Structure 1
Amino acid sequence: MQRYFISPDQVQGEQFVIRGDDVHHIRRVMRFRPGDQLIACDGEGTDYLGELTEEIGNEVICRILRREPSAGEPGLQVTLAQSLPKGDKWEWVLQKGTELGASSFLPFTSRRTVVKWDRVKAEKRRVRWKRILKEAAEQSHRGRIPTVSPVTDWNGLLEAIARAELALIAYEGGGEPLSAALARKSFSRLLLIVGPEGGWEEEEVRQAREAGAVPVSLGSRILRTETAAVAMLACAMFANGEMGGETL
């Protein structure tokens, strides 16, 4: 069933209102008519099964048939921090990371980051990224839309590491096995850090370790940066019992 995100203030008694671009999608793409059903999520963990009753201007009004907790939100909150990759790799990570259950994304620049970040165009890029997150969250039946932070520099990442409950940095030079790191202690919030296409400089790994990050190994194969990101996230979710398996 088609899903849309709304804000809590769009729920009014026994009905909810859909506004904005989703109205065009409902009318022109899905061609919904009164009596058709859809699901709206308030972004705070509640899903509403609704029946379309009327369209007024740029609004679609639906009668609430049922309320229930969103089933698509994992118990583990994961922030995926990645040195900004080139091309459409970052957008692919945003999409797949949302599907896998990431709660937030932190793009950053490091010494070997290939992308030349244009801060003048930064907000326009973030608008596109947010749209990708919203569409992926709807498709994967998430209860919340993940957030994406502005691109930060290396010092900003070190500050995020210092605040993290547990921070793991994928390091091609070796480290603790990822499975062991995920099983080492109980945690509810996790920061996963992935480097650029050219890999880390040793000084960066040293600084990350001093800030509190644990270097981890993803095995004997060298993964592309975008592959490493989704692999780490999938492993973390599986270890926490969020992928149909038992917790480690």
Structure 2
Amino acid sequence: MPRFFTHTITGDLAQIEGPDASHIALSLRMRHGEELTVCDGEGTDYPGTLEQITPELVTVRLSGSLPSPGEPKIKITLFQALCKGEKMDTIVQKAVELGTTEIVPLLTRRCVARPDQKGFEKKRQRYAKIALEAAKQCGRGIVPQVGELITLDNLLVRMEGFSQTFLFYEQAQRLLGSMKLDGIKKLAVIVGSEGGFDPGEAELLKQAGAQVLSLGSRILRCETAPLAALAAILCLSGEL
């Protein structure tokens, strides 16, 4: 069943505007009375039937509500050290598909990509569009946010708000598979860029309470590591 995000829900009516309305009317060629699902972007789905259809505005009569099935039990924030080229595009897209709640780009000592604030803001706008399209495609109940670029100092402060923090570091000995996720509600996942983490950075994060973990004996690319970590976490938490 087609599914769309909208924040315009009043009583038992929802409105869909912009490119999604055009897609419904012109690409899908949907008609009055056909069924679809709208999502409020806050984790609730609303099944309904089409009432009014134009390329500018679509009105949906809602028949109920239910929790979005696409949201994992654990809220995961991915702190991803900034990668060069289009690698971040891939990471954002796939991390959304794998259930992250938020993606926060991180600037570390070994990051090759070091954009200025204005340059990064343009990139962040693109990442946000990628996150939105990925959330639509995979049936998420929220659109994960892509945060502003932060430093390690910012990260150390933000770690206090999580039940647990996992740092994936190439020198770690403890495997992710040995971890128990019982009782974890909010999880921070930290992954490095092409050059990984400076030993001093890893030690600071460890002292701040991060569990320093390995993804195995193979050295994974920076765009592979977060996806492997997220998929394994979903498996350990019973989501896969």
**What TM-score, normalized to structure 1?**
0.91
Question: Is the contact made by 2:25 and 2:54 (CA closer than 8 Å) also made in structure 1?
Answer: no
- Are residues 1:59 and 2:57 paired? yes
How far residue 234 of structure 1 moved from its aligned partner, in angstroms, is: 0.8
Question: In structure 2, what is the equivalent of residue 213 of structure 1?
Answer: 210
Question: In structure 2, what is the equivalent of residue 160 of structure 1?
Answer: 158
Three-state SS of the structure 1 residue aligned to 2:66 is strand
Question: In structure 2, what is the equivalent of residue 76 of structure 1?
Answer: 74
User: Which deviates the most, 150-159 or 189-198?
Assistant: 150-159
Question: In structure 1, what is the equivalent of residue 43 of structure 2?
Answer: 45
Relative to structure 1, the CA distance from residue 185 to residue 55 in structure 2 (aligned partners, 3 Å threshold; closer, same or farther) is: closer
User: What aligned pairs does 1:1-248 form with structure 2 within 5 A after superposition?
Assistant: 1-7=1-7, 10-55=8-53, 58-180=56-178, 182-183=179-180, 186-243=183-240
5+ residue gaps, structure 2: none
CA displacement, residues 201-242 of structure 1 (integer Å, 9 cap, x when unaligned): 111111111121111111111001111101111111111111
2-structure distance, mates of 1:64, 1:98: 27
Equivalenced residue count is 240
Question: Is the contact made by 2:43 and 2:67 (CA closer than 8 Å) also made in structure 1?
Answer: yes
How far residue 57 of structure 1 moved from its aligned partner, in angstroms, is: 7.4
CA displacement, residues 128-166 of structure 1 (integer Å, 9 cap, x when unaligned): 212211111111111111111111122112222233221
How far residue 30 of structure 1 moved from its aligned partner, in angstroms, is: 1.9
Question: Following superposition, which runs of at least 4 residues in structure 1 exceed 3 angstroms of deviation?
Answer: none
2-structure distance, mates of 1:70, 1:96: 19
User: Which amino acid in the other structure matches residue 173 of structure 1?
Assistant: Q
2-structure distance, mates of 1:18, 1:145: 16
2-structure distance, mates of 1:122, 1:39: 35
User: Which amino acid in the other structure matches residue 228 of structure 2?
Assistant: A
Three-state SS of the structure 1 residue aligned to 2:65 is strand
Relative to structure 1, the CA distance from residue 34 to residue 218 in structure 2 (aligned partners, 3 Å threshold; closer, same or farther) is: same
5+ residue gaps, structure 1: 244-248
Question: Is the contact made by 1:161 and 1:208 (CA closer than 8 Å) also made in structure 2?
Answer: no
Three-state SS of the structure 1 residue aligned to 2:63 is strand
Q: CA RMSD in A?
A: 1.7
Relative to structure 1, the CA distance from residue 14 to residue 176 in structure 2 (aligned partners, 3 Å threshold; closer, same or farther) is: same
2-structure distance, mates of 1:20, 1:152: 32
CA displacement, residues 75-131 of structure 1 (integer Å, 9 cap, x when unaligned): 111111110111111111111111111111111110110112131133332222122
2-structure distance, mates of 1:163, 1:67: 30
Three-state SS of the structure 1 residue aligned to 2:36 is strand
Identity of aligned residues (%): 38
Question: Is the contact made by 2:45 and 2:67 (CA closer than 8 Å) also made in structure 1?
Answer: yes
Relative to structure 1, the CA distance from residue 56 to residue 29 in structure 2 (aligned partners, 3 Å threshold; closer, same or farther) is: closer
2-structure distance, mates of 1:198, 1:57: 48
